[in-house]
């Protein structure tokens, strides 16, 4: 997580690619990948993988417990990309 918080993680970072391969169901890893890519460069495939990960385990919301806010945001962004 240190690379992400220091702004050194990019969408094509080997560390991020390895994390996505090793933890395909981890919603936080997918969230970081989407943030690194940015709205313009995020792909449909990235969004679908993130949605699947959110169904596996919802991200922690602002209240400190799992909620579907991020999942809804991914669906909205996917709708724009279609």
How far is residue 47 from each of residues 55, 59, 76, 80, measured CA to CA in Å? Answer: 12, 14, 10, 11
Distance CA 44, CA 50 (A): 10
Residue-wise pLDDT tens digits, 49-69: 999 999 999 998 888 999 999
The region of weakest confidence among 6-10, 12-16, 39-43, 51-55 is 6-10
Distance CA 63, CA 18 (A): 30
> Does the model's pTM come out above 0.75?
yes
Contact predicate 74/51, CB 8 Å: yes
Helix, strand or coil, per DSSP, at residue 67:
coil
């Amino acid at each position: 997580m240190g690379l992400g918080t220091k702004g050194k993680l990019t969408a094509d970072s080997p560390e991020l690619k390895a994390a996505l391969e090793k933890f395909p169901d981890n919603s936080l890893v997918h969230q970081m990948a989407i943030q690194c890519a940015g709205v313009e460069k995020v792909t449909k495939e990235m969004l679908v993988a993130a949605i699947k990960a959110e169904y596996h385990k919802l991200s922690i919301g602002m209240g400190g417990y799992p909620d579907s806010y991020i999942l809804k945001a991914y669906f909205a962004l996917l709708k724009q990309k279609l």
